[in-house]
Structure 1
């Protein structure tokens, strides 16, 4: 009985999360006029981040990712951020060349168990620093960015996958949108 109640509550929470769509926010974003050209991008992750390969509905870990074959997850996430930054670069054609540093705090995707049942959301949290690429001077000090993208479940997840909208494609596109919004 308790097991069924847990599954029902998890499904309700997952569906509520799915309805939220994509959103992101910065805490402490400075009020500056931005006219940036992305000249350099670096990604870092603390060595003590916990990674889960558990197929629970909600593993308690800093890193949960299933959009690539099982391997070292943090380098997979780094590659997605780097690809997103490369896609953002042509859209940022401002006056000030900047070096952007991202430090991962949390990357919580959905497990296969969640994805093929109730769905949920990708919760991505990172600290962002913007420096003048010429001088190294900090233009925008570290600020926390929280980005959430819906992760459809069940038949919607399968349909997206079959149409080419894999988890990785969706997350990279979303990260590019987030980086562009944070730098423009």
Structure 2
């Protein structure tokens, strides 16, 4: 009985991690031999943010709704589109500082976007969970330079009096989430390695 339960748990874990994984994502059993890589400057010429329609949405005013998307600061409407707009703006802000090097397009695919519900925001606070896959694509050839990398951002979300005070200063959930995403993407754009053979091609071009 115990062995069967453990087997089912393992299956559930794999499904959660890969349900919205982009094509080409390397799993532990599929990972190729290590290739020497270097972090090289990149010139970001475009950003593509996708929010798959199969991501579930919750409008329940509970402490922790069971859904992929929980977002309330925009008027009631298409939450997938609202999340796409937020992430697109954040990614473009982060990309603005990367204008030298190989021309690339940034590809982001969302898997989770959790802000706070009204009930949580005005009481105990909690955690913002922003999860996505990130990859870089050659802007000229369309060749994928990096395999999709799973990024999981989890940071404190204010609640109660602290949330109200922050909102009075313009620090809404949208502002705080956007600032954190910009900082994380800027770091990733500076440190994500390109395989050695791609770097050699880059040096031959410039």
2:61 is matched with: 55
- Which residue, 94, 100, 115 being the options, matches 1:88? 94
Secondary structure, in 3 states, of the residue corresponding to 1:47? coil
Corresponding residue of 1:103:
109
CA drift at 1:149:
2.3
Q: Which runs of 5+ in 2 are unaligned?
A: 1-26, 29-34, 191-206
For 1:45 and 1:93, the matched residues in 2 are separated by 26
Normalized against structure 2, the TM-score is what? 0.72
- Please report the TM-score for the alignment, with normalisation by the length of structure 1: 0.80
Structure 1 residue runs without a partner (length 5+): 1-26
CA offset digits 1:64-99 (Å, max 9, x no partner): 011212111111111111111221122113311110
**Residue in structure 2 matched with residue 6 of structure 1 by the alignment:** none
Q: Of residues 171, 186, 195 in structure 2, which corresponds to 1:180? A: 186
Q: CA deviation at 1:136?
A: 1.1
- Alpha-carbon contact 2:51-2:83 (below 8 Å) kept: no
Equivalent position to 2:174, from 159, 168, 172: 168
Measured in 1, the distance between the counterparts of 2:84 and 2:48 equals 9
Larger radius of gyration: 2
- The aligned residue for residue 114 of structure 1 is 120
> Which structure has the highest strand share of the two?
1
Rounded to whole Å, the distance in 2 between the matches of 1:175 and 1:41 is 14
